[in-house]
Amino acid sequence: MTGATLLLAKALDFAARKHVHQRRKGESREPYINHLAQVSWLLAEATGGGDAALIAAGLLHDAIEDTDATFVEIEAEFGSDIAALVAEVTDDKSLPWTERKRLQVKHVATKSRRAKMLKLADLTSNLHSVLESPPADWSPERKRRYLAWAREVTDGCRGADTTLEEGFETVWRRCADEFDA
């Protein structure tokens, strides 16, 4: 096995264990790992498989925010490059939800290009979920607000990667049609 294959197998195992009891908020309650798999696949596709660290970060990107994993643990297991990428897309959970969402819009443009790619893949996956299996308690207005927010964040990612930006645009338009946004 090459180093990249080992890295990805290890990241997949780590993510599956850390998120084992989590499911997506959508009505079909998909296992959380489905989201992580989709994000890492979108990154793999966009980079032609050329950035294994970024693809691994796709699997790990919600671990600090949503599980007991820490930055130190990810750095020890996967190195400082991957840990830094995950940290770049991790919200400060001590802040209220609306404040975290506002800060994402405010700060995204200052992030590294690879962190922006990760954010684009994350939001693309989230929009697919909102389209295919929206949370049962989300009103049409709530969906439209999420769409508008996702647009604001990805506006700050302009120029990061054409493939990912096009993928986001396609699912965003489908959502906009569906939700009359």
Least distance (Å) between residue 58 CB and Zn ion: 9
Between CA 181 and CA 178 the distance in angstroms is 8
- Binding flag, residue 161, Zn ion (CB under 5 A): no
The residue with tokens 């990061």 is 160
Least distance (Å) between residue 1 CB and Zn ion: 27
Instruction: Say which of 45, 66, 73, 178 is annotated catalytic.
Output: 66
| Residue number with CB closer to Zn ion (78 or 104) | 104
Structure tokens at 144: 């439209």
| Residue number with CB closer to Zn ion (3 or 21) | 21
Is residue 65 part of the annotated active site? The answer reads yes
- Please list the helix, strand and coil fractions of the chain in percent, rounded to the nearest 5, in that order: 70, 0, 30
Phi and psi for 10 in degrees, rounded to 5?
A: -70, -40
Instruction: Say which of 45, 65, 73, 91 is annotated catalytic.
Output: 65
The residue with tokens 């671990």 is 63
Is residue 152 part of the annotated active site? The answer reads no
- Binding flag, residue 165, Zn ion (CB under 5 A): no
Q: Mask 112-131, x = binds Zn ion (CB under 5 A)? A: ----------x---------
Least distance (Å) between residue 78 CB and Zn ion: 17
3-state secondary structure 111-166: CCHHHHHHHHHHHHHHHHHHHHCCCCCCCHHHHHHHHHHHHHHHHCCCCCCHHHHH
Q: Which residues from 55-114 bind Zn ion, rule CB under 5 A?
A: 62
| Residue number with CB closer to Zn ion (122 or 165) | 122
Question: What amino acid positions are annotated as catalytic residues?
Answer: 65-66
**Which positions touch Zn ion (CB under 5 A)?**
62, 122
